[in-house]
Structure 1
């Protein structure tokens, strides 16, 4: 099944989201895929945002009305080199017993307490593992669930870290080899009916997807549906158990830069370099078991190369967007 092209299409019916007050950034967002992380703190009525700009990551806390309450900048751990290495991703990993902020770069992997105040773990990338002496090292793709955090690397390996309930005693417990090109993203969900087991999907630069069932989980699967975004603007939906392609959506005119899922309702967010953000509703037909998708909302961020987008809550009632050379985080809430 192929959905019709939707880039530039008008929304059908009543609009679901409206633009809210943006959050100013000290520096604009770098042109990186998935360059936005969001952590909601309902008990404190706050939302944290994380954005990468070159060798630094900017963390912001904002109240519902959009007023920034605090800002913090994180940098790559110092070491040898003429210029500071670039950060490739920043992401909050929500585990059942703690929340860690993970930062990846061309030098290594840094893990912080959720507010970024204390670094609890540092893992340096080993140049000896590079397949070519001229190949640039980096880590990219972050996911977490149960008591593991998984991080992708330039070599195609996935590093699996065992996270304790508290403290800095984090251990690299396993390395998964299944890709020949650099990892681009990782997505997981808890395996249904199996405690402590998760399904994990990893993607690489060549467009290859690997589905894993291992006791190390993390982000972006929904009820056994794998959502993948591609450089040609397509969003493809696969069945995680069989690997079968169910739906191919010509969603965007340029490279998809971010995907996110609202797990409570099965909403899928796709954002791309074509300035558009689309919201889709996923569903499984109870009779046939087939995957169905419906377009719910489209938003154009004019003259902006969108590089990050995330839902701000698990019900998908609001989302945030970053763009290259855009010195603010745009927010959209339900109408």
Structure 2
């Protein structure tokens, strides 16, 4: 008697991946995290002979104690927000998708590792695997690094199942829709003069290296989102701002797109501009005293949202004469976002 399809098909495996976090806010754990993160060739695209001694020998030892103090401010009773929000999302997406799916969660750096999550799916004999890096805008240093790591691991397996990647979701309505829902909740509490969409920065050379046939000019080529710049990080950020601005009912004059978290001096290594910290210093002199801030490059609250945007930028803005600075929470495990993730998986 022939075997029916239902008896040969396994569950669909889903791998959700975020960037990573130290195991604790202690200097040793932060050092281990930074060593792995900052020696990734897709993050720091220098030759290994330069990258390893420079960052492991100089940058990380100097940076780790300072970063540990910041992580101590971020840490909660549940630990790292990036980790527990990811685990909450995994659990809720699993419940929504049901028994035909197996949802695993991993981090690109440190624990739980991508490898441990993939092994969980392999041991369950899933029929195929859908990988969703939790980065809305594709960048070689984030989504690209996750994709490379997944392929590096599975190429060693004797049996490799079908694997697909969701590389970007800037134009998925539920993504901007959930941010708009959270933003409107804050707008109902206070009147704002202006909105800032602050994205994680990357070196300009990363954008230029990935440019399709030299299309990118780091200028008004990002005024539209099309087949030539679909994987351009800068273009995706501006498209996110347009979509989110529209969802909030804002005109282009009512919001500004900026970039944060640059690692090196712009004089030596230009990063995407305009820089958030420089832009917001100028707002009060222009009569912008009340600002609502979003971090739409992050789907879970973390050091870059809670501390950098929520606290450090607030201090910069107020020192310049600003009166009210409010960060919109990230998507975390909001029900609307959980439903959006589940729908993206089903569609793939």
Q: Shared fold by TM > 0.5? A: no
From the CA coordinates, give the structure whose radius of gyration is larger.
Answer: 2
Q: Classify the TM-score, shorter chain.
A: under 0.3
Higher helix share: 2
**Given the two structures, how large is their TM-score scaled by the length of structure 2?**
0.24
Higher strand share: 1
Higher relative contact order (CA 8 A, sep 6+): 2
**Given the two structures, how large is their TM-score scaled by the length of structure 1?**
0.24
